[in-house]
Amino acid sequence: MIILGIDTSCDDTSMALLEGKNKVLSNVVSSQADLHSLFGGIVPEIASRRHVELIDNIYRDAIAKAGVSPHEIDAISVTNGPGLIGSILVGLCFAKGLAVSLKKSLIGINHVEAHVMSIFLEYDVGFPFLGLVVSGGHTTIMLVHEPCVYEVIGSTRDDAAGEAFDKVAKFLGIGYPGGQIIERMSRTGKRDFVMFPRPMAEEDNLDFSFSGLKTAFINWTRKNKLTEDNLIDVLASFQEAVFDTLWRKILKATKRFNIKRVVVGGGVAANSRLREMFRERCGNEGLLVYFPSPTNCTDNAAMVAATGYFYFERGRLSPLDIKGISRMRIKV
Ligand SMILES: Nc1ncnc2c1ncn2[C@@H]1O[C@H](COP(=O)(O)OP(=O)(O)OP(=O)(O)O)[C@@H](O)[C@H]1O
Ligand SMILES: [Mg+2]
């Protein structure tokens, strides 16, 4: 079985060919980060125009690298939400056109679900498990009962964790995407230099709020002097506060639902300090934690194809008039 995955939900144009459940034949990702870094964040209209310019070549490239003929493709799995609607529509329309011309099945995929299911490209995780997606637009905890059956049990009420990194980086003028830059700068910083708040950590729910933490960072810089000497310590403390907050909620969720396995996905999951913290703390609590390789954490189409595999296997195909949806709930 060969599945073509397509993802244009945000600022990366990506296509991948997947054979079976996890043999990646190609996974082409064209990042627009350089383009958007000029503005300190993603400009939706620029992103969708760029997808239009790139998509034909990305398709040809993915097919050529995989060494398959388009007629060998069994199904086309495409992100139809959530994300920037102008960007989503470029990939979705391309997928529909291809499905009609090649007479192949179409499968619409939830991008957030794909961030969790990306783990199956590398590990056969047992069910049920908790999926934590920490990305530019989402901080979501899902209880994954079995493939294609999920419940959202917690999510951010305002900014996502990645968004908080991006906004702090923009405030400091240190570049975009912020998470990667802050990770690099804070590697040798003192994580307990500033005790930033852990928003909502003590509340009896599984939700997050990172907007206040970003404000706490900005307020700290207004009350105290940010210098070349203390910058890396303040950033390390901020990063630690984000990850400690994530950890506290995940621990609460594992206890509440009596779950022993945790899968972490999304761009922020590429962060080596997050990986280290979760591995150490999960080990201490007798939990198993799984991370995709860093390149599979950020947006890519192999994760969309991998998710499509489970839907295709269960005969859960999408109609050709499936819509692009910018704000999309996870299916239960
Ligand atoms: N090493 C890292 N450490 C922390 N954050 C990171 C790292 N690498 C990337 N990020 C953050 O990950 C986010 C991008 O992740 P991803 O590509 O999954 O998000 P997105 O697709 O834009 O959002 P979503 O998946 O919610 O639609 C950005 O906010 C970026 O700052
Ligand atoms: Mg993403």
Dist. CA 74–CA 152, nearest whole Å: 30
266 C-beta closer than 6 A to ligand 1: yes
Helix extents (H) in the chain: 33-37, 44-66, 85-102, 111-117, 161-172, 178-186, 211-223, 231-257, 272-285, 294-297, 302-313
Q: Where are the domains of the chain?
A: 2-116+297-313, 125-291
Structure tokens at 98: 């291809």
CA angle 216/221/224 to nearest 5° reads: 115
Kindly tell me if the per-residue pLDDT of 52 is higher than 90.
yes
**Ligand 2 centroid vs 148 CA: distance in angstroms?**
18
Query: How far, rounded to the nearest angstrom, does the alpha carbon of residue 143 sit from its chain's CA centroid?
Result: 16
Identify the residue whose C-alpha is closest to ligand 1 atom 25. Answer: 135
Domain 125-291 CATH superfamily: ATPase, nucleotide binding domain (3.30.420.40)
- Minimum-distance ligand 1 atom for the alpha carbon of 83: 27
Kindly tell me if the per-residue pLDDT of 332 is higher than 60.
no
243 C-beta closer than 6 A to ligand 1: no
Identify the residue whose C-alpha is closest to ligand 1 atom 30. Answer: 179
Under 8 Å between Cβ of 263 and 143: no
Question: Do the domains at 2-116+297-313 and 125-291 have one common CATH topology?
Answer: yes
**Ligand 2 centroid vs 170 CA: distance in angstroms?**
19
Kindly tell me if the per-residue pLDDT of 20 is higher than 90.
yes
Q: Which of 176, 180, 245, 246 to mutate to test the pocket of ligand 1 (most atoms within 8 A of CB)?
A: 180
**Ligand 1 centroid vs 266 CA: distance in angstroms?**
6
Under 8 Å between Cβ of 102 and 59: no
- Rounded mean pLDDT, 26-39: 86
Q: In this predicted model, what pLDDT tens digit does every residue of 78-95 receive, in sequence order?
A: 999 999 999 999 999 999
Kindly tell me if the per-residue pLDDT of 54 is higher than 70.
yes
Tell me if residue 269 falls in helix, strand or coil: helix
137 C-beta closer than 6 A to ligand 1: yes
Kindly tell me if the per-residue pLDDT of 32 is higher than 90.
no
**Ligand 2 centroid vs 114 CA: distance in angstroms?**
9
Q: In this predicted model, what pLDDT tens digit does every residue of 122-155 receive, in sequence order?
A: 999 999 999 999 999 999 999 999 999 999 999 9
Q: In this predicted model, what pLDDT tens digit does every residue of 223-266 receive, in sequence order?
A: 999 999 999 999 999 999 999 999 999 999 999 999 999 999 99
pTM of the model: 0.96
Architecture of domain 2-116+297-313: 2-Layer Sandwich (3.30)
